[in-house]
Amino acid sequence: MRIKVDNLSFGYDYRTVLKNISFTLESGEFLVLVGNNGSGKSTLVKCLLGINRVPSNRIYIDDIEIHQYRQWINIGYVPQKFDDFNYEFPITVNEILTVSRLSKIDEEARLSLLDKIGILELQNENINSLSGGQLQRVFIARALMNNPKLLILDEPTVGVDSDSISEFYRLINNLNAEGVSIILITHDVKASKANFTKKLRMENGRLTETLDNEVTS
């Protein structure tokens, strides 16, 4: 999946959060986005997802202007924790995966996905009983249910133990090798384990390309 952002500015109410953002993500690329808290990273991905309504002719997805874009099923999204989803109520792993399912995935494909993500045995667990790493895998499985061409992950390693983080990078590197484009927002030093092709830094709503290998913000 190809993303083009051309001179995008965006704000909530009167305050401008994103200032003249331009970048492209080519099909199959792996973009890491770093930057301080409050710099605008989550706001930018919500613009790409159509959650934040942006001005015309600023964002193109597979060369289609975002307001004309309809194939949202092709984009998987793992929101920042405690941001878009409240899991302080009793629900099982299977229920989360079913509730959010937009298209039919057959039982065999579903089980093979859960197996690949390593949560096959957790299907009937209450999500409140899961560790950070297990919960993160449930959200990734949810984002992968529809076979996305682009996977957007907003700080997915926060609260996840170090073994699970290594496992996480193996998983997304493999997905990327299979052709899934990735946008990963992270502060994580271990992101150096990500086989990213491009790294951008958000600073106070402006984007700067960083050429170094150091990933921490």
Give the binding site for ligand ADP (CB under 6 A): 12, 17, 35, 37-43, 202
Number of residues that bind Mg ion (CB under 5 A): 3
What is the smallest separation between the CB atom of 37 and ligand ADP, expressed in angstroms? 4
Q: What is the DSSP string of 119-134?
A: -GGGTTSBGGGS-HHH
3-state secondary structure of 98: helix
Q: How far apart are CA 3 and CA 5, in angstroms?
A: 7
DSSP character at residue 79: P
Please provide residue 186's backbone torsions phi and psi, each rounded to the nearest 5 degrees.
-155, 155
**Residue with nearest beta carbon to Mg ion:** 42
Give the nearer residue to ligand ADP in terms of CB position, either 42 or 146. Answer: 42
What is the smallest separation between the CB atom of 80 and ligand ADP, expressed in angstroms? 7
Q: How far apart are CA 120 and CA 136, in angstroms?
A: 14
Q: Going by C-beta distance under 8 Å and a sequence separation of 6 or more, which residues neighbour residue 116?
A: 171
Give the nearer residue to Mg ion in terms of CB position, either 37 or 124. Answer: 37
What is the smallest separation between the CB atom of 124 and ligand ADP, expressed in angstroms? 34
Give the nearer residue to ligand ADP in terms of CB position, either 21 or 135. Answer: 21
Q: How far apart are CA 126 and CA 130, in angstroms?
A: 7
Interaction of residue 42 with Mg ion, rule CB under 5 A = yes
What is the smallest separation between the CB atom of 48 and ligand ADP, expressed in angstroms? 12
Give the nearer residue to Mg ion in terms of CB position, either 42 or 176. Answer: 42
Of the candidates 57, 84, 82, 85, the one whose C-alpha atom is nearest the C-alpha of residue 69 is 57
Which residues inside 52-111 make contact with Mg ion, applying CB under 5 A? 80
Positions touching Mg ion (CB under 5 A) are: 41-42, 80
